[in-house]
Amino acid sequence: MALLITDDCTACDACKPVCPNEAISVGDVIYIIDPLKCTECVGAEDEPQCKLVCPAECIVPNPDFAETPEELQAKYESLHG
């Protein structure tokens, strides 16, 4: 499932550069994750890199985008052809 950044985000910019899919961008107040690009790093890394570097621990699963590991892999492959 895609990830989501909560309102606890401090906009520190730690997450954006580590995203292999460029799914993270600056929102109006906090950073946001594009669920159509987020693969939880499946296909690129063993675990979500944004969650590893987030000092506020504000990155959580997005309940609106429940996806299997196979679906995440397919999404990654479609993004990186």
Each residue of 26-54: pLDDT tens digit?
Answer: 999 999 999 999 999 999 999 999 999 99
Domains and CATH numbers, the chain: 3-80 (3.30.70.20)
pLDDT at 66: 92
Please give the distance of CA 65 from its chain centroid, rounded to a whole number. 12
pTM of the predicted model as reported, rounded to 2 decimal places: 0.93
pLDDT at 56: 97
Mean pLDDT across 60-67 = 95
Within 13 A of 77's CA, how many CA atoms are on the CB side?
Answer: 6
User: H or E element: which one contains 78?
Assistant: helix 69-80
